[in-house]
Amino acid sequence: MRAHASVLHLDLDAFFAAVEQRDKPSLRGKPVVVGGVGGRGVVATASYEARRYGVRSAMSTREARSRCPHAAFLSGRFHAYRSTSRAVMEVLRAVSPLVEPLSLDEAFVDLAVATDPALGGLGIEEVTAFAEELRGRVHEATGGLTASIGVGTSKFIAKVASDLDKPDGLVVVAPGTERDLLRPMHVSVIPGVGPATAERLRRAGIHTVADLESVTLDELTSLVGRAHGTGLFHLARAEDDRPIVAEREAKSVSVEGTYDTDLVDRRLLEALVTRQATEVAARLRKNGLSGRTVTLKVRLHDFTTLSRSSTLPSPTDEAATIARLARTLLGDLIDQQVTVGGVRLLGVGVSGLADWVQEDLFGPDLLGTADTAASDDGDDGDEPADAEADDVVLPDRAERSWAPGHDVEHTTLGRGWVWGTGRGVVTVRFETRDSPAGPVRSFRVDDPELTPWRPQDDGGEEASDT
Candidate residues 19, 27, 33, 44; the one interacting with DNA per rule CB under 7 A = 44
| 262 labelled ligand-binding | no
Closest by CA to 276, choosing from 332, 338, 319, is 319
Residue 251 as a binder of DNA (CB under 7 A): the answer is: yes
Q: Interface with DNA includes 242 (CB under 7 A)?
A: no
Site string for DNA, 160-199 (x = CB under 7 A): ------------------------------xxxxxxxxx-
Q: Is 409 a residue that touches DNA (CB under 7 A)?
A: no
Q: Which position among 292, 410, 441, 454 is part of the footprint of DNA (CB under 7 A)?
A: 292
One-letter amino acid at 129 equals A
79 near DNA, rule: CB under 7 A: no
Please select the residue that binds DNA; options are 66, 83, 115, 305, rule is CB under 7 A.
Answer: 305
Cα torsion for 260, 265, 268, 274, to the nearest 10°? 100
Contacts (CB under 7 A) with DNA, residues 343-362: 344-345, 347, 349, 351-352
Q: Which of 299, 297, 323 is nearest to 312 (CA)?
A: 323
| Cα distance between residue 204 and residue 230, in whole Å | 17
| Window of 102-110, 164-172, 209-217, 384-392 that interacts with DNA by CB under 7 A | 102-110
- Of the candidate spans 20-28, 35-43, 212-220, 409-417, the one that interacts with DNA by CB under 7 A turns out to be 35-43
User: What does the alpha-carbon distance between residue 328 and residue 419 come to, in Å, rounded to a whole number?
Assistant: 12
Per CB under 7 A, does 336 bind DNA? no
Q: Does 291 bind DNA (CB under 7 A)?
A: no
Among 1, 42, 89, 263, contact with DNA (rule: CB under 7 A): 42
- Closest approach of DNA to the CB of residue 177, in Å: 22
Count of positions (residues) in the chain: 466
Q: Is 46 in the site for DNA (CB under 7 A)?
A: no
How many chain residues touch DNA (CB under 7 A)?
Answer: 56
Q: State which residue, 225 or 341, has the beta carbon closest to DNA.
A: 225
Q: Return the number of the residue (40 or 410) whose C-beta is nearest DNA.
A: 40
227 scored as a contact of DNA (CB under 7 A)? yes
Q: C-beta of 197: minimal distance to DNA in Å?
A: 3
Cβ proximity of 390 and 306 under 8 Å: no
Which positions are annotated as active-site residues? 106
Least Å distance between CB 187 and DNA?
A: 10
Q: Are strands 99-103 and 7-12 parallel, antiparallel or unpaired?
A: unpaired
- Candidates 100-108, 139-147, 176-184, 420-428: pick the segment binding DNA (CB under 7 A): 100-108
Binding piece for DNA, criterion CB under 7 A, among 19-27, 340-348, 413-421, 441-449: 340-348
Return the exposure string of 115-137: e unless at least 16 CB atoms fall within 10 Å of the residue's CB, then b. Answer: eeeebeebeeeebbebbeebbeb
Task: Flag whether 105 is marked binding.
Answer: yes
Of the pair 128, 146, the CB lying nearest DNA is at 146
Q: Minimal CA–CA distance to 363: which of 390, 329, 332, 325?
A: 390
Min dist. Cβ of residue 194 to DNA (A): 2
CB closer to DNA, 349 vs 368? 349
Residue 58 C-beta: closest distance to DNA, Å:
4
Q: Which residues bind to DNA, rule: CB under 7 A? A: 36, 39-42, 44, 57-58, 60, 62, 102-103, 105-106, 159, 190-198, 225-228, 250-258, 260, 283, 292-293, 302-303, 305-311, 344-345, 347, 349, 351-352
- Binding-site residue ranges: 11, 105
- Binding-site residue ranges for Mg(2+): 11, 105
